[in-house]
Amino acid sequence: MSQTGCSAEGMEPFALRVIGDSMEPEFQDGHIILVDPGYPLLEGVYAVIKNNGEYIFGQFYKDDSEGWVRYLNPDFEAVKLESGFEVKGVVTQRNGRKRKDIKRYDYSS
């Protein structure tokens, strides 16, 4: 399994808007996610990954030696990560229109 991107020095966190419902109910269409390229890709993190030229956002997991991205919405099938996929970053916070929509993700425990 190959991966690049997360350990690159000098990369700053960035924000993206969630489009679609593949990650509902945790991430709704329109939520803003903060993505940190410095976080390691660990099992269970929410990540933005470039796979076969396409950017995808989902939950990372491993099955034997293969990496996968799964979506929280059961209507969407998991995506197998191809050799040479690039990790763009790990989601560290979710923001919405209301204060109650703010949530931080701590993957250290």
pLDDT means per 10 residues, the chain with 109 residues, are 48 94 96 95 97 97 92 98 95 90 84
CATH code where residue 42 lies: 2.10.109.10
pLDDT given for residue 1 in this prediction: 47
The count of domains in the chain is 1
Tell me the residue type at 69: V
Each as own residue / partner, the long-range contacts of residues 104-108 (CB below 8 Å, 24 or more positions apart, any chain) are 105/45, 105/46, 107/39, 107/42, 107/44, 107/45
- Tell me, yes or no, whether 6 lies in a domain: no
Residue 27 is part of which domain span?
A: 14-104
Domain assignment present for 5: no
Domain membership flag for residue 47: yes
Give the pLDDT score at 99. 86
* Any domain includes 28: yes
Q: What is the pLDDT of residue 108?
A: 74
How confident is the model at residue 100, as a pLDDT?
83
In a domain, 77, yes or no: yes
Residue 80 domain flag: yes
CA gyration radius for the chain? 13
